[in-house]
Structure 1
């Protein structure tokens, strides 16, 4: 969206020349100090790695922002090309909400195993629930139309303040564990069952699958998805100890996110090497739960949604995709099953990388 600043309609009366000079000097000093403490957009930094042509295409698509470390993979059938700057295909990043595609795969796989049905309700998973929340189906959560709020309700005023402060302190805002997610359902308000993106919903979905299977979410990801596919560089971290951190859009350090009980919504860490494996396996239908990609409902004017996965209707060719973002990372993954083309971009700054879609697909008029 392009916007322009409207001219101010207010009027001011100019002060004496000396006062104006003092104000100008103070403003200049403040600007100089701001320039010293705030990293400015400075393009791609670090040593280029991998394919120069792919890196050039990535630079053209993403533009000049404050990039720290960026890694990409382009997929053409079974051929994978890697590129990066300050990073390579084995550099670890937070993939953010691309994690939801793993949670959706676990959902589809659990259906295939006969452990749940698409229309299993939260009340069937947790019999202590009653009222409207007990009637919410797992499939409605997977398709982002459950009526659950976008974020977990704060269990207390102190928790709410802590979450708010985390935005300023650049730390993980997700404070509750799995038990807190379940407990929150007993008082949550359920809205209309219409398209609304919900991190809380996917936290609930992941914990529901964990409840039904009797396994921890991280163990499910490993045992049912990453280990069978040979994705040795992908995991759900249990704590922030020893984890690398990312950066805000302006280049300030941002703490790692492990997200506690909300891990199924966005806590996975991975590499472009492993995400290229994931993309190809999901695209080809060989990944457990790959049917999650199938579009089932309209989400908005330009996208249909399957279980977590979006499919565009305004690109040529159309792309099945998901993106992600945490406090210091952004990610994007997309593919077209007919052409076999795909793209993965991971980076450790809070600058969006969705524009990388243009590398394999053009936007319609």
Structure 2
């Protein structure tokens, strides 16, 4: 039995290495300004990024560079025209629309949306300025059982956690939540989504048209779009992945476009935005003016944050979707600005700061505890079966099949959601080898195993049926 188990483990481990999860890394592909591209590579390091499109603004001049590739079935070098999911940088544009439309920032949002039945009067009385500066007390998202389920489909399957929410769903979510902590900055995607929809209602149009007419068209940002669920992604777009290698679906929540949902753009376009805000010529450029305290060394305007690094004041915003990370910032004193767009979930904030000549603060985010647990425990659920195959005289066929199926399911989940970077991907192959050894050892005992340790009843078959259904459902979800 031991010899068969060891041989099976070795064979499967070798095969598993071929499909083991691999964290993304920048390819040698380079476009644009060679010196800037070299600077980007030095600042980015090796792991976690797949493609980076960068624009650096200095002395009124914009330099572009691309390093890495788009990923996907036909990877191509990235550049200033490569489209990425923009994420929350769009919040700065919504703030600029507020500044440009001439509305009083103290206008309650209910005045612009009289038909929305806010369940909490505090949400309806939130002012436009409060929504834009995250001081309205509106939660970031509405918590529901369906949303909770989607969050796990996002973690394990890379699915869109917002389920293509449209404007009516966004308004319904805003109408259903309660506000708390009003007056203090608490980041809220839902609050800025509500603001964008309110501004569009005031202008008697939709958010996409308002954004295009008042901001994108005047600035010549022709590659920035809000995509509806049925629309194709931009040609030659960057394909999103997690920083550990998992493919991630694009987010189609165009109802949350004001906060960054379903918005795609290029480093060329966002450089035009940053350059115009720096020059004060962009519509609503005054939105970048810091107005309210937002934590230690930080203030916020309408969408734009300003953070002090010693005697430097950096005005900025970042963005993050399932498979893309973005950063736009500038130093008003030096006239230097930067845009960084990446097609993995690894944030690009520190990279952007380094290109602005700012040393990122020490520490930063802690280790990804949840993903580390997935990587260190999920692949090794088969250890329980391995022990039983050698040590448990009461092992039966039903429980053996059940344990194989559960171990296979968790091995798969670990592949999809583990922290493969901090944990070497070889660990996953080792987990696959453990399951193979356990299965082989169990099969050698199969002829002597009873069907069940007790007389079978209907619930006996639930033990293998549940993991089998979950495996099938997860496989169908990933395929479809």
Shorter-chain-normalised TM-score: which range?
Answer: 0.7 to 0.9
Residue of structure 2 equivalent to 1:233: 223
Aligned pairs, number: 341
1:317 pairs with 2:304: no
Contact preservation (8 Å) 1:315, 1:364: no
Q: Against the structure 1 CA distance between its residues 125 and 51, is the aligned structure 2 distance closer, same or farther, given a 3 Å change threshold?
A: same
Give, in angstroms, the shift of residue 355 of structure 1: 1.4
Distance 2:328 2:89 in 1: 8
Runs of 4+ aligned residues of structure 1 deviating over 4 Å after TM superposition are 21-32
Residue number among 88, 112, 124 corresponding to 1:97 in the alignment: 88
Structure number with the higher helix fraction is 2
TM-score, length-scaled by structure 1: 0.86
The 5-angstrom pairing of residues 254-265 of structure 1 reads: 254-265=248-259
Contact preservation (8 Å) 2:150, 2:162: no
Q: Against the structure 1 CA distance between its residues 50 and 146, is the aligned structure 2 distance closer, same or farther, given a 3 Å change threshold?
A: same
Residue of structure 2 equivalent to 1:152: 142
Distance 2:292 2:46 in 1: 36
Give, in angstroms, the shift of residue 59 of structure 1: 1.4
Distance 2:10 2:283 in 1: 59
1:179 pairs with 2:175: no
TM-score, length-scaled by structure 2: 0.66
The 5-angstrom pairing of residues 213-362 of structure 1 reads: 213-239=203-229, 241-243=231-233, 244=237, 245-266=239-260, 267-315=262-310, 317-356=312-351, 357-362=353-358
Larger Rg, first or second structure (1 or 2): 2
Q: Against the structure 1 CA distance between its residues 352 and 315, is the aligned structure 2 distance closer, same or farther, given a 3 Å change threshold?
A: farther
The 5-angstrom pairing of residues 160-179 of structure 1 reads: 160-175=148-163, 176-179=165-168
Residue number among 4, 8, 16 corresponding to 1:33 in the alignment: 16
CA RMSD of aligned residues (A): 2.5
Contact preservation (8 Å) 2:147, 2:162: no
Contact preservation (8 Å) 1:80, 1:276: yes
Contact preservation (8 Å) 1:89, 1:273: yes
Encode CA deviations 1:249-306: one digit per residue, 9 max, x unaligned: 1222211112131111113211111111111001111111111100011211132111
Residue number among 90, 109, 125 corresponding to 1:122 in the alignment: 109
- In the alignment, structure 2 segments of 5+ residues that lack a partner are 68-76, 362-480
Distance 1:214 1:177 in 2: 17
